[in-house]
Structure 1
């Protein structure tokens, strides 16, 4: 993946951040974060939903290696992915909210479509 955003963090911290955000997105359906974090989370979330659509043992293990909570993994494969069975991508959307009051960072909401 060329042009990966670094988000001002070390690799392990950045990966944990994205994993946590993907898990929260699948748990809650939508999360509010900065725009750049939302775009990175969107990439990974779309890939996880695509794995969920295949629903084989191999894809379940691939998703389990990434998603922390077993309950979220179960929800992904049994509730979220079947909703998008006929859809070819575009499972999430990012909506800009405007600048954050404290530091002016561009805020966004990422949600499942």
Structure 2
């Protein structure tokens, strides 16, 4: 079952349809403005779908009526519209999909509210910000130990073949 459809619901509620739409518009605008956001995983995952679709739509150009309607609805501020068309569109002109990156952070606890939240960072690819740290694999897992041993055997066999 896809992550976005638990128990037959096609999308997350986020407090009702009006609040959900307002929240998503705010997150889409903030992501276009700042190019990186830290929020909960659920909000970041939902925002990712809308931002990628919006960038696909902007490829139609400013002269397209559908493109203008969607951009005016999702990005009402003129500064973000200019950034969308003049900065992000040329950056992603060669890309066909996947304009964003979603990195899951460790869980956190708010002592006052006693709530646990799965946090995530969503960013636009190719942004000028410093890169996010990449999670390295554990070298002591069974798979990684076996792969390292196989690589050593392979290197040893290749070096013996070259000597003979």
Please confirm whether the aligned pair reaches a TM-score higher than 0.5, indicating the same fold.
yes
Structure 1 unpaired stretches of 5+: none
2:50 aligns with 44
Matches within 5 A, 1:74-113: 74-102=82-110, 103-113=115-125
Deviations 1:14-44 (A, max 9, x none): 1000000000000000000000100100010
**Secondary structure in structure 2 of the residue aligned to 1:108:** strand
Report the structure number with the largest CA radius of gyration. Answer: 2
Q: CA deviation at 1:54?
A: 1.8
The separation in 1 between residues aligned to 2:54 and 2:31, in whole angstroms, is 11
Q: In the TM superposition, what are the counterparts of 1:47-86 in structure 2 within 5 Å?
A: 47-57=53-63, 58=65, 59-86=67-94
What SS class does the counterpart of residue 85 from structure 1 fall into? coil
Unaligned runs of 5+ in 2: 126-164
The yes-or-no answer on 1:26 pairing with 2:32 is yes
Partner residue in 1 for 2:144: none
What is the aligned residue count? 112
Structure 1 stretches of at least 4 aligned residues deviating more than 2 Å after TM superposition? none
Deviates more, 1:77-86 or 1:24-33: 77-86
TM-score between the two structures when normalised by the length of structure 1: 0.92
| Structure in which a larger fraction of residues adopt strand | 1
How far off is 1:61 after superposition?
Answer: 3.0
Residue 15 of structure 2 corresponds to residue 3 of structure 1? no
TM-score by length of 2: 0.64
Q: Which protein has greater RCO, CA pairs closer than 8 Å, 6+ apart?
A: 1
Q: CA RMSD in A?
A: 1.5
